[in-house]
Structure 1
Amino acid sequence: MKKNNKSEKHAKPSINIGIQEKDRQKIADGLSRLLADSYTLYLKTHNFHWNVTGPQFQTLHVMFEGQYTELATAVDLIAERIRSLGVAAPGTYKEFAKLTSIEEPVGVPSATDMIKQLVEGQEAVVRTARSIFPLVEKAGDEVSADLLTQRMQLHEKTAWMLRSMLE
């Protein structure tokens, strides 16, 4: 006859993926900051998509839609990587507000100021991703390194494209 042992029934399954628990936690903390920055940039970009006006309306409206759509996919990938490391992903505005390095806009900026703010946001995401890289390299976490590399490449390119609109 089997005993009904609560501690066995609700025990957290161990994770043995070749990365120490303390390293997984540190990496997940960094990825949580990346998630918060990415989600905040998603919200800012979506807001600007809705509220842009002026002679470049059509161009910016479509461009911002492409950017926030890509960010929506990215936040899912980042959150799922955090979960793969055995850590709960942040998922509330309150948590994101504490973790993000990106400022929310005040009011509705001009189209030019929207572009400037999005350049700053794209660059902030790159800096956050780059700051996590030494942790993942030291821990031998190639999967997180690949995710970070892809995010940095995309955000650097997007920042360049946005900056080009300001020239």
Structure 2
Amino acid sequence: MAKTSKTAAGGIAINIGISEKDRAAVAQGLSRLLADTYTLYLTTHNFHWNVTGPMFNTLHAMFMVQYTELWNAVDPIAERIRSLGHVAPGSYAAYGKLASVADAPAEPPRALEMVRILVQGHEAVARTARGLFAAVEKAGDEPTADLLTQRLTVHEQTAWMLRSLLQE
């Protein structure tokens, strides 16, 4: 049986069947996933605004679908962190320390370079999500496992679709 524990925020005991140590490990991994997702969201939205060239209409519309999906993903990740009794990071400084996804270039790249950067970003987020499974399985945290599976499906499929644009 998992030990009942208190959180630093408010001192209310959490007894959901996952130990404090395991909840902390999962929340830390989810914080990295949140930072990666938000950073990729921001880059994708940036590219939506700044794409140019013959593929403008296609990429502008595709990037909008992608950044909207990413925007809708950040809340469930942050709320899962809160459900585990931890504070969700929410600043650029925190995301800069936690993210494995590179920030967008200062100057907008050409359209196909944008696609390459987004492929790398989606693959990085998939690696972050996949790397969290060991801690989630150890904790017996099925809701987080479900969230990770959903995120992996989106990021792997999006990376595949973007890679397809780069093929000759």
User: TM-score band (shorter)?
Assistant: over 0.9
Normalized against structure 1, the TM-score is what? 0.93
Q: Give the match's secondary structure for 2:102.
A: coil
The residue identity in structure 2 corresponding to 1:120 is: Q
Aligned equivalents of 2:33, 2:103: Cα separation in 1: 16
Aligned equivalents of 1:149, 1:118: Cα separation in 2: 20
Shift of the 11–152 alpha-carbon distance from structure 1 to 2, 3 Å rule, reads closer
RMSD of aligned residue pairs (Cα, Å): 0.9
Equivalences for 1:15-164 in 2 at 5 Å?
15-106=14-105, 107-164=107-164
Q: Percent identity?
A: 65
* Number of residue equivalences: 158
- Alignment partner of 1:13 is 2:12: yes
**Structure 1 unaligned residues grouped into runs of 5+:** 1-9
What's the counterpart of residue 5 of structure 1? none
Show CA shifts across 1:19-78 (max 9, x none). Answer: 001100010000000000000000000000000000000000000000000001100110
The residue identity in structure 2 corresponding to 1:163 is: R
Show CA shifts across 1:148-167 (max 9, x none). Answer: 01000110000000000011
The residue identity in structure 1 corresponding to 2:157 is: K
The residue identity in structure 2 corresponding to 1:63 is: M
Shift of 1:105: 2.5
Shift of the 23–76 alpha-carbon distance from structure 1 to 2, 3 Å rule, reads same
Shift of 1:11: 4.6
Normalized against structure 2, the TM-score is what? 0.92
Q: Give the match's secondary structure for 2:14.
A: coil
Structure with larger Rg: 1
